[in-house]
Structure 1
Amino acid sequence: MRGLGAILAVVFVSACGGAGGPSPAAATSAGPSATAAPSPVTVKFGQVGSVSDAAIFIADAKGYFKEQAITLEAVPFTSAALMVAPLGTNEIQAGGGAPSAGLYNAVDRGVQLRIVADKGSLTSGHGYEAVIVRKALADKVKSAKDMKGLKISIAARDIVPEYSLDQYLRSGGLTVKDVEVVPLAFPDMIPALASGAIDVALPTEPTATRILDAGTGVLLTRTDTVVPGEQTAVILYSEKFAQDKDAATRFMVAYLKGARYFNDAFDKGDATKKQDVIDIVAKGTKLDPALLARVIFPGIDPNGKLSVDSLIAAQQYFVTKGSQTKAIDMSKIVDASFADEAVKRLGGAYK
């Protein structure tokens, strides 16, 4: 009996984790880690440096990219059209700007890239693009129907703002064929209106507010009333970066956190966040915070949702005009999977 008792004692001690059994700490350390640290990655982002880059500026300034082990390296461009070739070769991994006939023609030629998220749109109250007439003509030019033969300036031909102009002119029974389109960089529109070199301008912010401040132009309308919800700017991924699903999704998580902070500030009316955003964008664009406090910012979807219908409508304009060789299948270039996954990781849709 004494021998049997000794055996039972040993069994009991072993079952309770005593001599000969692994300690709880040892058992825990032997298992896999709960969450593997993300692999660090540097993302070169093509950037025009406009107010529609607000969510990117915020995500960088607030450390959201750093949270995702991403080092953001901003690469300056004067337009999104110039980003197409470097995106195609993965010289830059991502970028943002206006859709254009040039972008779609490049895709048709075999350049591989993807449109992955909204970066700026003309949602209600976010008409950051304006139609402004020269002050000397304000008594005669009240709407689109009065613009036949006038010199009208946009930033470039065959980009989405040209489609906006055409839609505005159609409200008065005209088209772009009935006016003289004068491409000018936004800052150059200010002296051009003042001197009478152009009659009407379609600037985005902050140029629109600068013209109105100067008193050389009169606001006719904001284009959120002309083309409501128009997709004016998008986030682009190179094909190679898109194939790195983990890094591409982490980038989107950080970006959407920036977009949500932006929406807290401008759509939900958080005054503290609004001032913070203004300061962040001022630093990123090198613009005066006092000026930015008065401009109208674009809509930036907090879930990254794109208006595919708007992209298709602008594309059809380019095709009809002849600047785009043929329509491309948007389902082959628009990829919402990164934004969808990022929304899940952020706990669901922003409301």
Structure 2
Amino acid sequence: MTFASWTRRAVLGAAAATLATAVLPATTVPVQAQSLDKATVGVLALSSSGPIFIAKAKGYFEREGLDVTLSMFTSAQQVPVAVASGDVDFGVTGLTAGFYNLAAKGAITMIAAQSRDEPGFPLSAYVATNAAHAAGLTKPSELKGKRIAITTIGSTFHYMIGILGQKYGFTVKDVTMVPLQDVPKMVAAFKGGQVDAILAPSTVARQLAADGAGQILGWAGDETPWQLGALFTGPKTIQTRRPVVEKFVRAYKTALAEYHAAFNVKDSSGALVKGPGYDALLTIIADATKQKPEIVTAGLPYVDPNAKLLIDDVVNQVKFWQSEGQVDKTLDAKSIMDLSFIGQ
């Protein structure tokens, strides 16, 4: 073979290779993937984050043109801090004094609801030690004067004690809140008899009762229903990336409605029943939270299918934290919401 003929073949071969590459199917380099808007959302590995896990697993974000990355955190306060700093674009978590302080500084804005404590949904329990129960602590209304383990001052647990007191005529000053930073330390103090009671997630409360370590007195949702969590973002994101926020909320609402239909439906007697897609959605949440399905089932919270916030309750939360000296008294609760994305 002459050098010239080899060269001609090389050129033709290279041209053919180039042509073949040009006509490769779209699955090799998806056109859709190239056009997706990127976004990150901060979540906790809890069932209350279920709608986010569902939207991600079932492709609802992608369908809206978003490439969403989940960033996992270990405490509620970490999520709004991450949104405020710009480390993530969106967040879903419980509403705390720290959350409202960041919102008061203009760092975060609520745009939709997350979970609620609602009657008939066992999400957070009041649990008494066996010794306290034997001594007469048998109802949530009797917690006045008791030592109660919580995570931190300003937490959702702190708030739940506060609104329970409002219902039964006592204040947080009438109990001794023992802040222990995290749930494992709370459980250790409870089992060690250092406190009389604990406010605990349903999975923890049920395990304590099953182990014979304590007695469940009741559920926060039955005693004091409230807006537990929200979806939020930064004001700058709303201003500069509004189409992305709109897409995110649409996907989120699709998952919320699916979650609600599967997990929040009751029969005529008021008992929870399995809705469409129950098992498949349960598997998604169990995988995301790394919990057994039966554990997840025990603590599935209520969500509004349209992502509606309990606005009056949020106003009351801010007033409570202001009365506790935890939040700036000049904060107007309605100024930290932009509910245009959910039509509220």
Class of the TM-score when normalised by the shorter of the 2 chains? 0.7 to 0.9
Q: Deviations over 1:206-244 (max 9, x none)?
A: 22222222221211111112222x011111112232222
Taking the aligned partners of 1:204 and 1:186, their CA distance within structure 2 comes to: 9
Does residue 320 of the first structure (1) align with residue 323 of the second (2)?
yes
Taking the aligned partners of 1:312 and 1:156, their CA distance within structure 2 comes to: 22
Aligned to 1:131: 126
Q: Deviations over 1:111-159 (max 9, x none)?
A: 3321011111012322411111112221310224533442201232213
CA contact (8 A) 1:46 1:76 kept: yes
Q: 2:194 aligns with which of 194, 197, 204?
A: 197
Taking the aligned partners of 1:121 and 1:241, their CA distance within structure 2 comes to: 26
Shift of 1:190: 2.8
SS of aligned partner of 1:225: helix
Taking the aligned partners of 1:215 and 1:71, their CA distance within structure 2 comes to: 46
Q: 2:310 aligns with which of 283, 307, 310?
A: 307
Taking the aligned partners of 1:303 and 1:333, their CA distance within structure 2 comes to: 20
SS of aligned partner of 1:203: strand
Q: 2:278 aligns with which of 274, 277, 290?
A: 274
Which of 1 and 2 has greater Rg?
A: 1
CA contact (8 A) 2:122 2:202 kept: no
1:68-87 matches, within 5 Å, as 68-87=64-83
Q: Deviations over 1:20-55 (max 9, x none)?
A: xxxxxxxxxxxxxxxx99941121111122111011
1:149-298 matches, within 5 Å, as 149-184=145-180, 185-228=182-225, 230-243=226-239, 244-268=241-265, 269-271=273-275, 273-293=277-297, 295-298=298-301
Shift of 1:169: 3.0
Taking the aligned partners of 2:316 and 2:221, their CA distance within structure 1 comes to: 15
1:2-21 matches, within 5 Å, as none
CA contact (8 A) 1:88 1:239 kept: no
Does residue 95 of the first structure (1) align with residue 95 of the second (2)?
no
Shift of 1:202: 0.8
SS of aligned partner of 2:152: coil
CA contact (8 A) 1:58 1:277 kept: yes
Q: Which amino acid aligns with 1:279?
A: T
SS of aligned partner of 1:240: helix
Seen in structure 2, the aligned counterparts of structure 1 residues 170 and 238 have a Cα distance that, compared at 3 Å, is closer
Shift of 1:260: 1.0
Taking the aligned partners of 2:128 and 2:231, their CA distance within structure 1 comes to: 31
Q: Which amino acid aligns with 2:292?
A: D
CA contact (8 A) 1:97 1:234 kept: yes
SS of aligned partner of 1:202: strand
SS of aligned partner of 1:292: helix
CA contact (8 A) 2:261 2:276 kept: no
Q: Deviations over 1:252-300 (max 9, x none)?
A: 111111111111111234455222222111111111112223x132111
Aligned to 2:268: none
Shift of 1:251: 0.6
Across the two proteins, how many residue pairs are aligned to each other? 303
Taking the aligned partners of 2:335 and 2:280, their CA distance within structure 1 comes to: 38
Taking the aligned partners of 1:71 and 1:183, their CA distance within structure 2 comes to: 39
Taking the aligned partners of 2:142 and 2:236, their CA distance within structure 1 comes to: 49
**Unpaired runs of at least 5, structure 2:** 1-31, 266-272
CA contact (8 A) 1:167 1:226 kept: no
SS of aligned partner of 2:163: helix
295-304 or 36-45: which moved more? Answer: 36-45
Does residue 117 of the first structure (1) align with residue 83 of the second (2)?
no
314-323 or 262-271: which moved more? Answer: 262-271
Q: How much is the aligned-residue C-alpha RMSD, in angstroms?
A: 2.3
CA contact (8 A) 1:166 1:176 kept: yes
SS of aligned partner of 1:325: coil
SS of aligned partner of 2:338: coil
Q: Which amino acid aligns with 2:211?
A: A
Q: Which amino acid aligns with 2:132?
A: L
Shift of 1:197: 2.3
Q: Which amino acid aligns with 2:284?
A: I
Of all paired residues, the percent bearing the same amino acid is 26
Q: Deviations over 1:310-331 (max 9, x none)?
A: 1111111111111112142223
